[in-house]
C-alpha cells in the first residue's frame, strides 16, 4: 500500500486531530532525528573511552526524540481533551500529545546538563536548574490535559520555572569559572541560542494546547521545527565548539572504563576500616 496510511491504521480519537500532511511532516522530522542519532553514535565511537559524556548525552537526547517522533508520526501517543476556546458551542476535543511531554521530560534536562557541565556551576545549582526544567514540562502537560481556565495556572507555574532557567543560563552561569579552553563568549552564544529557543515553546503552547488558536497540524509543524533547532542543530553546534577542549579540564574524566585493547591492571581493593 503506497503513501502514508498512519491515520487509517491508527484512527484519531479527537475531533481536532493531526492531518495526513501533518503526519508526513512528522515522518520527515523523525528521519532527521534518526539520521542525526546515527551520526552522533558514529562520532561518539571516535572519542576516547572515558571522554564521551557530552556525546553520549547527545545520543540519549536524539534516541528519545526519534522514538517520540516515530510515535507521533504513527498517530500514537495522544489523548482527546475538550477545548476551552473556539469550540463553536459543539464542545469538540483536541489531540493532546502526551508522548511529546515524555520526550521533553527526558531531553530538556539533558540539554541543560550538556550546557551547564561546561561551566563552573556547583552541583546543587545544576540539580536545581534541572528540577525547574522538569517542573516546566510537567506543568505544560498537566495544563494541556486540563480543559478549564485553570490550565493557565499551570502555564504560569511553568513560566516561573522558565524564568529561573533563563536566570541561570544568562546571568548566573556566565559569572562562574569556566573550564580551561572553554571560551566564555562561546558559552554566551550557545546559552543565548538555547534561551531564545525556550521562549518560543510557551508561545506555541499558548496558541495550540492553551487557547486552541492553531490546528494540531500547525502545532506539529511549529513544535517540530523547534525540536530540530533545539535538538540536533544545537547539539551539533555545541559539540563542534568543544572539539578542541581538553576533556580533563572539565573534571569529568572517568577512571572506571575498561580499555579492551590494552592490558589493564586491576585497581587495588578498597580498605575497609572498622
Give pLDDT tens digits for 25-34. Answer: 999 999 999 9
Q: Please count the other Cβ atoms lying within 10 Å of the Cβ belonging to residue 20.
A: 15
* pLDDT, position 261: 53
Checking if the pLDDT of 98 tops 60, the result is yes
The string of pLDDT tens digits covering residues 198-226 is: 999 999 999 999 999 999 999 999 999 99
79 forms beta bridges with 96
Checking if the pLDDT of 273 tops 50, the result is no
Mean pLDDT calculated for residue range 134-163 = 96
Nearest to 199 by CA among 170, 241, 240: 170
Q: What proportion of the chain, given as a percentage, has pLDDT over 90? A: 64
What's the pTM value of the predicted model, to 2 decimals?
0.87
Checking if the pLDDT of 262 tops 60, the result is no
pLDDT band at residue 274 using 50, 70 and 90 as cut-offs: very low
Q: Classify residue 16 as left (phi > 0), alpha (psi -120 to 50) or beta.
A: beta
Checking if the pLDDT of 245 tops 80, the result is no
Count Cβ atoms within 10 A of the Cβ of residue 122 and give its class: 0-12 exposed, 13-18 middle, 19 or more buried. Answer: exposed
Mean pLDDT calculated for residue range 91-116 = 94
Burial 184-222, CB ≥16 within 10 A → b, else e: eebbeebbebbbebbeebbebbeebbbebeebbbbbbbb
The string of pLDDT tens digits covering residues 170-190 is: 999 888 876 655 667 778 888
Mean pLDDT of the chain: 87
Q: Identify the residue whose cell numbers are 511532516.
A: 25
* pLDDT, position 246: 67
* pLDDT, position 120: 84
* pLDDT, position 6: 85
The string of pLDDT tens digits covering residues 153-162 is: 999 999 999 9
Amino acid at each position: 500500500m503506497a503513501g502514508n496510511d498512519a491515520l487509517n491504521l491508527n484512527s484519531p480519537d479527537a475531533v481536532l486531530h493531526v492531518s495526513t500532511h501533518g503526519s508526513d511532516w512528522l515522518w520527515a522530522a523523525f528521519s532527521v532525528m534518526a539520521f542525526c542519532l546515527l551520526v552522533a553514535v558514529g562520532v561518539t565511537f571516535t572519542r576516547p573511552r572515558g571522554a564521551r559524556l557530552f556525546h553520549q548525552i547527545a545520543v540519549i537526547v536524539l534516541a528519545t526524540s526519534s522514538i517520540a517522533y516515530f510515535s507521533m508520526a504513527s498517530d500514537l501517543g495522544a489523548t482527546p481533551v475538550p477545548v476551552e476556546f473556539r469550540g463553536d458551542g459543539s464542545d469538540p476535543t483536541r489531540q493532546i500529545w502526551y508522548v511529546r511531554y515524555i520526550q521533553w521530560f527526558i531531553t530538556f534536562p539533558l540539554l541543560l546538563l550538556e550546557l551547564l557541565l561546561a561551566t563552573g556551576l556547583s552541583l546543587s545549582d545544576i540539580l536545581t536548574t534541572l528540577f525547574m526544567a522538569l517542573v516546566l514540562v510537567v506543568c505544560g502537560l498537566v495544563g494541556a490535559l486540563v480543559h478549564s481556565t485553570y490550565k493557565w495556572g499551570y502555564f504560569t507555574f511553568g513560566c516561573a520555572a522558565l524564568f529561573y532557567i533563563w536566570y541561570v543560563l544568562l546571568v548566573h552561569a556566565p559569572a562562574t569559572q569556566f573550564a580551561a579552553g572553554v571560551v566564555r563568549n562561546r558559552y554566551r552564544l550557545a546559552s543565548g541560542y538555547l534561551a531564545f529557543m525556550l521562549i518560543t515553546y510557551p508561545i506555541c503552547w499558548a496558541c495550540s494546547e492553551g487557547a486552541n488558536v492553531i490546528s494540531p497540524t500547525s502545532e506539529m509543524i511549529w513544535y517540530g521545527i523547534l525540536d530540530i533547532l533545539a535538538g540536533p542543530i544545537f547539539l551539533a553546534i555545541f559539540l563542534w565548539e568543544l572539539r578542541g577542549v581538553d576533556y580533563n579540564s572539565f573534571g569529568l574524566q572517568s577512571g572506571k572504563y575498561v580499555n579492551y585493547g590494552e592490558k589493564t591492571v586491576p585497581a587495588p581493593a578498597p580498605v575497609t576500616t572498622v
